[in-house]
Structure formats: C-alpha cells, structure tokens
Amino acid sequence: MMNKDFLKEVFAEDKALLELKEVKWINVPLYDELSVVKIWPMTKENKQIMRFFPNKLPKGRVPDRAYFFNILNTFQPLYVA
C-alpha cells in the first residue's frame, strides 16, 4: 500500500498511518468467502477504514490481504468475526 502518492496524501493529512502497537493483528484463513476481492467493495464507503488506503488503486487491483484484514480488524472487528 505504501507508495509515493499515498505518502503525499499522508503528509497532506488526507490519509493516516497507524503505529504498529495500535493494530489489532489477525490471521484470516484463506477461504474464498474471506477474499479481499469480495469484502473490499463492502468497505469502500466506510470513511474510517478508507483513511488508511489510497484513493486510487491500479485497475483490477485490491489492497494487500494482510494489511487489509489487519486494518479492518482494528476498526471494524465484526466484519472479520
């Protein structure tokens, strides 16, 4: 997720980063039902979560699985439960 465009958004305070101690870590099993491709569209409207993701991703790409689920578990643990 970290690239120059995202860092520009962080420095402009449009986006944010978390300290590692603030993250509620989770290891999500590799099930089709728990794929980022299926859950990502459901979370795009959540401003609290989107604050930690870039505004634009390359076409056809989704966020990194571990990063996505750790952010999701930190702010919306019921999504992952």
The two tokens of residue 4 are 């120059």
Q: pLDDT digits over 6-47, tens only?
A: 889 999 999 999 999 999 999 988 888 889 999 998 888 889
Q: Is the pTM of this model over 0.95?
A: no
Given a contact cutoff of 8 angstroms between Cβ atoms, the answer to whether 36 and 42 are in contact is no
Q: Residues 6 or more apart from 51 whose CB is under 8 A from it?
A: 15, 16
Given a contact cutoff of 8 angstroms between Cβ atoms, the answer to whether 4 and 55 are in contact is no
Question: How far is 70 from 77, CA to CA, in rounded Å?
Answer: 9
